[in-house]
Amino acid sequence: MLNIMSNQITIDDFAKLDLKVGIVRQAERIEGTRLLKLLIDLGSEQRQIIAGLGEYYTPEELLNKRIIVIANLKPRVIRGFESQGMLLAAGCKEDEAKGIKPRILTVDGEVPPGTKIC
């Protein structure tokens, strides 16, 4: 039986994550990859995020979508492009074997960009 208790975090651990609403303002494919380069509006700033969702979404499908972003993730260079955060999606690699495709987490309603998720 899986020990769920070993995976628990504290509220202090959760508080370390800076989760915010972002709006996808630009989206394009990175040639020769499954990656998408997204420009995300976080209200007070714009961020570039590189996402490996190109086989599940077209750039056009993502434009103006309100998504959830981890804003305080350390930037990382992916295939020569800096990713300045991470978007959240349901459906991980192990779920794909079950036929579950990743789906980006979105916000219900007209929540302004930069709104903190709590």
How far apart (Å, rounded) are the C-alpha atoms in residues 18 and 58?
Answer: 27
Across the strands, what pairs with 19?
70
pLDDT given for residue 54 in this prediction: 94
Asked whether the beta carbons of 29 and 49 are under 8 A apart, the reply is: no
How far apart (Å, rounded) are the C-alpha atoms in residues 69 and 75?
Answer: 13
Phi, psi angle pair for 91, to nearest 5°? 100, 105
Q: Which amino acid is at 94?
A: E
The domain segmentation of the chain, as residue ranges, is 17-107
pLDDT tens digit sequence for 64-77: 999 999 999 999 99
pLDDT given for residue 28 in this prediction: 98
Helices (H) and strands (E) in the chain, counts: 3, 9
Q: If you write DSSP's letter for every residue of 37-61 in order, what string do you get?
A: EEEEE-SS-EEEEEES-TTT--HHH
pLDDT given for residue 3 in this prediction: 60
Collect the ranges in the chain with pLDDT lower than 50.
Answer: 1
pLDDT given for residue 5 in this prediction: 66
Classified by CATH at the fold level, domain 17-107 comes out as OB fold (Dihydrolipoamide Acetyltransferase, E2P) (2.40.50)
3-class secondary-structure state, position 7: helix
